Amino acid sequence: MENIQAIKPTESELEILQILWQLGKATVRQVNDELSKMKEVGYTTTLKLLQIMHEKNIVSRTEEGRYHLYQALIGEEQTQQLLLGKFVDATFRGSAMKLVMQTLGNQDVSLDELEEIKKLIAEKEKNLGV
């Protein structure tokens, strides 16, 4: 996997990465069909974005007959961690607490989600020896 620190995917590239993380490998047509479910996008735009992403080493490209198959070279969790870290630093001055308080105060949270949050807090406390 490429070092994500050197790469900051654009919003359009993140949309494509979401599709590739879900599908594993995909042709331009498959990626374009999935993108078209979210917004209007032309095939040539999708092709150009994938070509740029290939040049940036965000995706790999292999030939399968007369098609190219694209696959993400950067991991989903790795990308989320980097982008979230940058977002927390820029938006909440590095405070995870401010992010969580803002999120819980402004979003509907299910009981299942609250239980998962409690488990995560308990695990963090255990790791800190609390």
Indicate the number of domains in the chain: 2
Q: Considering the domain boundaries, does residue 90 fall inside one?
A: no
Q: Considering the domain boundaries, does residue 106 fall inside one?
A: yes
Query: Domain with 25 in it: what CATH number?
Result: 1.10.10.10
User: What is the pLDDT at residue 3?
Assistant: 52
Which two tokens mark 110?
């299910």
The pLDDT confidence band at residue 4, using thresholds 50, 70 and 90, is low
Residue keyed to tokens 């995870």: 96
Q: Considering the domain boundaries, does residue 20 fall inside one?
A: yes
Task: Taking residues 104-125, report their average pLDDT.
Answer: 89
Arithmetic mean of pLDDT over the chain: 90
Do 64 and 10 share a domain, yes or no?
yes
Beta partners for residue 71, in sequence order: 25, 60
Q: CB–CB of 42/27 below 8 Å? A: no
Do 32 and 66 share a domain, yes or no?
yes
pLDDT in tens, 24-68: 999 999 999 999 999 999 999 999 999 999 999 999 999 989 999
Do 10 and 51 share a domain, yes or no?
yes
Do 65 and 107 share a domain, yes or no?
no
- Residue numbers of the domain that contains 108: 95-130
Rounded Cα distance between 5 and 118, Å, is 30
Sequence length of the chain is 130
Rounded Cα distance between 33 and 10, Å, is 20
Rounded Cα distance between 50 and 13, Å, is 8
User: What is the pLDDT at residue 1?
Assistant: 47
Residue keyed to tokens 């654009």: 10
Q: Considering the domain boundaries, does residue 88 fall inside one?
A: no
- C-alpha distances (whole Å) from 56 to each of 8, 49, 83, 97, 127 are 10, 10, 17, 34, 38
